[in-house]
Structure 1
């Protein structure tokens, strides 16, 4: 028994050490980004890491907030995130609910068809041609419709709904409730944890996405914030219509601080939302993955 306790303690020590190391790989880069974003140029140019600010200079944030493209990108990203998340929740739930019912004709076939899409896709060129031919170029629909439903999340939601007691629906039908009433008043409230999980996944995915905007959006006023951030990091300017070499008149005196400030401004909203959905995220993921 004593030897077993020692092995348990050793195992716990190794686990905590690994988790601590993993946490440091996340916390230290964030501290570096925050410190550089509020530090003057002479501090940024010093050799070594900067985890704690020794001097403060908010010119980087002033440069970021002064640019109209940042606010336009924020607006476009918010519209995309809210619209895309709502569409994803509705489409995923409406697809998962029928697949969770045993009485669905050819249920195994349709489930296998959904699983097949996780391993094979049309590819980038067919997707681009499809979006272009149906007239979605330079619209927000080209960003939210192609990836509206994730096969993985659809199966997770399906498993969650299938694990709900069938007696709830049976008792509701005995009381005279129809299928739509049961869906809205019973299934949807009980599925809130998994729906919150889907919402978090979809919101983070839409908030961080930039590649599809680069493909489908040619109008700079309709580009999302992450694409603008990418251009800031690469070019060193907050104006996507110029490059770092050509924009000599507006070149920032502290480009590193401006880049890090843009990074902080970009990731801050999604970091504020995550703590409120974390409990639903954990619960929904665990319950939705139990039953296959």
Structure 2
């Protein structure tokens, strides 16, 4: 039998749809404006004619950014931090979550309590900076990786996923002579691709977008990440380093350079996400539900 919606339900659906569309437009509009500005001419931007579609199409702004050595230096550092940092994050998160998912581990509840405590009460900036300084990590790549080596929220998602795995699999593995490490690498990880993809995306995006950690611990300009380069570009509105490589007969607008840099910095994550979307959604759901 076909269900007939009441007037109240139809009104509720229309309201929800309108609200969600308005939220989507408010999120997408700035992104479209930035992309349109990066592909528009300087004259069109100066006349304030660019909104959500490029005017007087040109790739000059993007070419200008790609000619800047500071952009490539920041991109190189960001790739290093994302690659090494994400690998460290995944290894430490798995090695923490897997033992804590076992009910026979002594002191498990106390350790979990301490981990949850760090989610509620985070260490202040100054004591954290002093610890990093005392360890001699200032102006090193390690300062961008070690202080954020494990995220408590991500670890709990991973722990919940491991906890929901059938315990019979691990019992059979023990009968076959596998140790706990063997069970982890040969059984748990191969069937944990969804949650691993979720952790990979969470950690990679976090490293890529990180701005406070590099600003706190890195003063050497050659070790600035791409996000720090964009921050300095926007906050100072200074394009002298870019202009030095460009044709002096052509006009340079700081706003156009900023938009083009933002587009190029966002592009790698945008290209990566579609390949991980399927596993990301599945892993987030499986890791957030406890039976």
Give me the TM-score of the superposition, normalised by structure 2: 0.91
Output the CA distance in 1 between the equivalents of 2:250 and 2:114: 53
Looking at structure 1, the residues matched to 240 and 100 of structure 2 have their Cα atoms a distance apart, in angstroms, of 48
Closer, same or farther: CA 257–269 of 1 in aligned 2, 3 Å: same
Distance in 2 (alpha carbons) for counterparts of 1:239 and 1:59:
16
Kindly tell me the number of residue pairs found equivalent between the two proteins.
286
| SS of the residue 1:146 aligns to | helix
Aligned ranges 1:1-292 → 2 under 5 Å: 4-47=5-48, 50-238=51-239, 253-291=252-290
**Which ranges of structure 2 fall in alignment gaps of 5 or more residues?**
none
Determine if contact 1:73/1:225 at 8 Å carries over to the other structure.
yes
Distance 2:202 2:276 in 1: 10
Deviations 1:5-31 (A, max 9, x none): 544444333332222222212222111
What runs of 5+ residues in structure 1 fail to find an aligned partner? none
1:250, 1:280 → 2: CA distance?
Answer: 50
- Comparing 5-14 with 252-261, which one deviates more in the overlay? 5-14
The answer as to whether partners of 2:44 and 2:50 remain within 8 angstroms in 1 is: no
Change in Cα spacing, 1:55 to 1:48, as seen in structure 2 (3 Å) is: closer
CA contact (8 A) 1:228 1:238 kept: no
Question: Shift of the alpha carbon at 1:35?
Answer: 1.1
Q: Render the CA deviation track for 1:82-106: whole Å, top value 9, x for unaligned.
A: 1111111011111111110000112
Post-superposition offset of 1:236: 2.5
For the Cα contact (< 8 Å) 1:200–1:277, is it kept in 2? Answer: yes
Q: Comparing 77-86 with 188-197, which one deviates more in the overlay?
A: 188-197
Residue 122 of structure 1 and its aligned partner are, at CA, apart by 2.3
| Residues 65-120 of structure 1 deviation map (CA, whole Å, 9 limit, x = unaligned) | 11101000000000001111111101111111111000011221111111111111
Note closer, same or farther for the CA distance 1:93–1:237 as it changes in structure 2 (3 Å cut).
same
**SS of alignment partner, residue 189 of structure 1:** coil
CA separation of 1:176 and 1:70: change in aligned 2, threshold 3 A: same
8 A Cα contact 1:70 1:238, kept in partner: no
Q: How many angstroms apart in 2 are the aligned matches of 1:85 and 1:26?
A: 27
